[in-house]
Amino acid sequence: MSIVVTKCSPVIVGPSELGTSTGNIHLSSFDKAMDVGPVSLLLVFDKPIDDPVETIRRALSRALVHYYPISGRLAAGADGGDKVISCTGEGQGVLFVGASASCGIDDMPGLLSELVVHYPDELCRQADPLMLMQVTEFSCGGFVVGVTWSHVLTDAAGMGQFLQAVGEMARGFSLPSVVPVRSDELVMAARPQGMAAADFLSAETTNDQNMAMLDFTIPYSLISCVKSEVSLALGKRCTTFEAAVAILWQCRARAVASDGDGPATLVFANNLRGLVGAAEGYYGNCSVDESAQATSAQVASGDTKDVVKLIKSVKHKAQDQINKGGGEVDRAPLKLGYNTLFLSSWRNLGLEQADFGGGRPARVMGLVPFCVLCPPWNVKDNGVNVMGSIVKKNHVNAFLHELAALALSSARLV
């Protein structure tokens, strides 16, 4: 029997209180650099709550009173200048869809694209809501909250904070536990020198249909082995992020087996809230995309600790890239395409802490055209869960073989 996802007609959910603040929200340099399209995620809940669609719809409306810019729309600034988030309070809000699935939550993997609302042509235009939400109830009582948003609105850390607030409203809080801040002076003054939207818009990207969407786990035993090796060799602490990214980059370079002298580029998101001094509760964008460059041979044939060292060196340059005095920093253009691994980490950003009344999500999943390190599973936390596009379909077996070989060699060392 075929599985059917039945969707109700979309509605616009605005703030629940009249007189919510209005006006224009000016975009920071971080926001402008991220104006490259929508991002989608799924929060998977295996424990039921009473009427999840209506409960979350009401909670969303209450949360938007405090996070009113999320109800706004992109608009041209004065005299056609830089874009702003225009908050008029007139018919604005989040596009919301209630849905039901004729299966249990264990049958969800084949339905992922049906569990979110998509922008037309996968592009958020000025008249479109900045955020789309779908709540799907499954026959087993579990439910999934699918969220799609324009990246100009916020990054994953900001979205994690907002979804926690929606959860608090669903659980009966009168106010969010964290006071939200959308405009912050230090963030507005910062001039990040990471990659900009134009770098991605001009990239020589691979046809999405040629890329495989993967969902796998890097075992903690392999992560721990890399961290220990780096600590002994470099005398420096190696983070889980650094170890996982080094493993992915190296396995990918070996699987693709391109020209040894050709470029192997890594692009990853770097959260700069601490470096900038962003206010507690700030939920706009405050991350930049950094790039690490090496030859394919250096990544594929080098020691994993040397790959970690390269990643560390890029991260440590972030402080210099926060140029509060203005002025642009010259950077050689990068040729981005299949030679590039695009990656972001959603771990430890609060996405896994959203609770709408039945506990935290069993899983957080990314539906994005790049690679995401997802928060740990509640019921299957045996490593770093990775989702997204990493290699072409014809390179999947080679990539998974390289990952298995690394994991096996690390197990022998334990």
Active site residues: 151, 355
Beta-sheet pairing, 340-345 with 263-271? parallel
β pairing state of 371-373 and 340-345: parallel
44: left (phi over 0), alpha (psi -120 to 50) or beta: beta
Question: Could you give the CA distance from residue 103 to residue 4 in angstroms, rounded to a whole number?
Answer: 8
> What number of helices (H) and strands (E) belong to the chain?
12, 16
* Torsion sign across C-alpha atoms 193, 328, 309, 401: positive
Residue with tokens 């939550």: 105
Exposed (0-12), middle (13-18) or buried (19+): which is 16, by Cβ within 10 Å?
Answer: middle
* Selection from 203, 249, 79, 71 nearest residue 149 by Cα: 71
Per-residue burial over 392-404, b = 16 or more CB atoms within 10 Å of its CB, e = otherwise: beebeebbeebbe
- Judge whether 134 and 99 are in contact, CB under 8 Å: yes
Residues forming beta bridges with residue 290, ordered by sequence position: 268
Which residue, among 27, 26, 94, 91, has the nearest Cα to 60 in the 3D structure? 94
Q: Do the Cβ atoms of 268 and 373 come closer than 8 Å?
A: no
Q: How far is the C-alpha of 218 from the C-alpha of 247, rounded, in Å?
A: 9
Note whether 101 and 138 are within 8 A (CB): yes
HSE (side-chain half, CA atoms, 13 Å) at 323: 12
Query: What are φ and ψ of residue 160, in 5° steps?
Result: -60, -40
CB 164 within 8 A of CB 147: no
